[in-house]
C-alpha cells in the first residue's frame, strides 16, 4: 500500500451541480411517493455513472408490489432531456399502481435536493426528491466475507458503516475521492447475536473519509470514527457543492484495502 500526503487549506469545496447548469446525469437517485405512511405509491429512478439506469414503480402497504426496469440512458445537455432504453424488466403480476417506464424525461427545474420532470410529452410535472453521489456498489468489505468491517450502500442514498464492532447508520454521498456520511444512529455489535441499544442522533453527525476506488478494491483511509464524530470532519452541501468546513492538517494517510461487491443486474 502506498502512503501519500494531502493538505487541506481553508475550506475545500467539491463542485457537483449548480442551479440549472446541469452538465451530466450520473450517480443520482430521484424519488416520488404519494399516499399515506401505511399505503404508499412510489416511483424511483437511479442513474449510474456507467450509463445504465434502474426504474422502480410500486406499492407498499400491507403488501409490497414493485416493477423493476433496467436499461441504458442518454443525456442531452442542450435540451435537458434523458432518453431511456429498456433492456429488461420484471413486472409485478398485481398492478395496484401502474406507471409505465417513459422513453423520454424532460428536466424542467433542478436544485440541490429536488428535480421537476415531465415524462414523455405529458403536460403533468412531477416533483421528485433528488440525491447525488449514490453508488451501484453494494458492499465494501475486508477479507472474504462481509460480516466484519464493512461499508454497505443502497441506491437510495442510505448507508451503513461497521468498524470495530460499532455500526453507524445514515446517508452517504460519494464524490470524487471522498465518502461523505451523515450519521443518524449507531449501536454496538460486540455481541453479534444481541446488538446493543441504538443511539439516535437528532442532529446528524457528519464525517468524511478519503477513498480511492479501483476496479476490484477500494482503498479507504484508516480512522476511528469515534474520534472524528465530534465535528472535526464536518462538511456541508449547499449550492451544488460539498464543502469541508474544517482545515485538516497535513498527515500521512494509512490506507486499508476493502473488496468491492458491485450491483448484479442479472
Model confidence over 166-205: pLDDT tens digits?
999 999 999 989 999 999 999 998 776 777 889 999 999 9
Final residue before a domain boundary, out of 101, 132, 163: 132
Are 146 and 119 contained in the same domain? no
Do residues 155 and 255 share a domain? yes
Mean pLDDT computed over 123-128: 92
Return the higher-pLDDT residue of 2 and 71. 71
**Whether residue 153 sits in one domain with residue 114:** no
238 plus 157 within the same structural domain: yes
Residue 72 lies in a domain: yes
171 part of a folded domain: yes
Q: Do 99 and 165 have their domain in common?
A: no
Q: What are the pLDDT digits (tens) for 193-242?
A: 777 889 999 999 999 999 999 988 999 999 899 999 988 899 999 888 89
Neighbouring-strand partners of residue 172:
181
Residue that terminates a domain, selected from 102, 132, 162: 132
Domain span at residue 45? Answer: 28-132
Give yes or no for a contact between 70 and 54, defined as CB atoms under 8 angstroms apart. Answer: yes
Name the pTM for this structure.
Answer: 0.84
Per the domain annotation, does 148 fall within a domain? Answer: yes
Say which residue, 240 or 251, is predicted with more confidence.
240
| pLDDT given for residue 20 in this prediction | 39
Q: How many structural domains compose the chain? A: 2
Check if the beta carbon of residue 151 is closer than 8 Å to that of residue 139: yes
**Domain-embedded: residue 22:** no
Task: From 123, 98, 107, select the one nearest 25 (Cα to Cα).
Answer: 107
In a domain, 182, yes or no: yes
Tally of CA atoms within 13 A in the half-sphere of 109 that contains its CB: 8
Domain shared by 160 and 87, yes or no: no
The residue among 79, 108, 132 that closes a domain is 132
* 149 shares its domain with 247: yes
Amino acid at each position: 500500500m502506498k502512503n501519500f500526503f494531502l493538505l487541506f487549506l481553508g475550506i475545500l469545496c467539491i463542485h457537483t451541480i449548480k442551479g440549472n447548469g446541469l452538465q451530466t446525469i450520473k450517480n443520482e437517485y430521484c424519488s416520488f411517493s404519494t399516499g399515506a405512511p401505511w399505503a404508499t405509491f412510489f416511483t424511483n429512478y437511479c442513474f449510474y455513472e456507467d450509463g445504465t439506469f434502474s426504474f422502480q414503480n410500486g406499492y407498499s402497504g400491507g403488501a409490497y408490489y414493485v416493477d423493476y426496469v433496467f436499461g441504458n440512458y442518454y443525456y442531452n445537455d442542450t435540451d435537458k432531456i434523458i432518453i431511456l432504453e429498456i433492456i429488461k424488466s420484471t413486472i409485478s403480476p398485481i398492478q395496484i399502481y401502474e406507471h409505465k417506464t417513459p422513453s423520454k424525461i424532460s428536466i424542467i427545474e433542478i436544485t440541490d435536493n429536488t428535480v421537476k420532470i415531465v415524462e414523455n410529452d405529458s403536460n403533468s410535472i412531477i416533483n421528485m426528491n433528488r440525491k447525488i453521489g449514490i453508488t451501484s456498489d453494494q458492499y465494501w468489505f475486508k477479507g472474504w466475507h462481509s460480516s466484519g468491517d464493512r461499508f454497505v450502500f443502497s441506491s437510495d442514498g442510505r448507508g451503513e458503516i461497521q468498524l470495530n464492532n460499532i455500526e453507524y447508520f445514515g446517508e452517504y454521498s460519494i464524490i470524487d475521492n471522498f465518502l461523505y456520511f451523515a450519521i443518524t444512529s449507531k449501536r454496538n455489535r460486540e455481541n453479534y447475536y444481541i446488538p446493543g441499544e441504538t443511539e439516535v442522533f437528532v442532529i446528524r453527525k457528519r464525517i468524511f473519509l478519503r477513498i480511492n476506488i479501483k476496479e476490484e478494491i477500494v482503498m479507504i483511509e484508516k480512522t476511528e470514527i469515534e474520534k472524528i464524530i465530534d465535528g472535526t470532519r464536518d462538511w456541508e452541501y449547499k449550492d451544488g457543492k460539498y464543502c469541508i468546513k474544517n482545515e485538516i492538517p497535513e498527515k500521512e494517510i494509512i490506507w486499508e484495502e476493502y473488496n468491492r461487491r458491485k450491483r448484479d443486474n442479472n
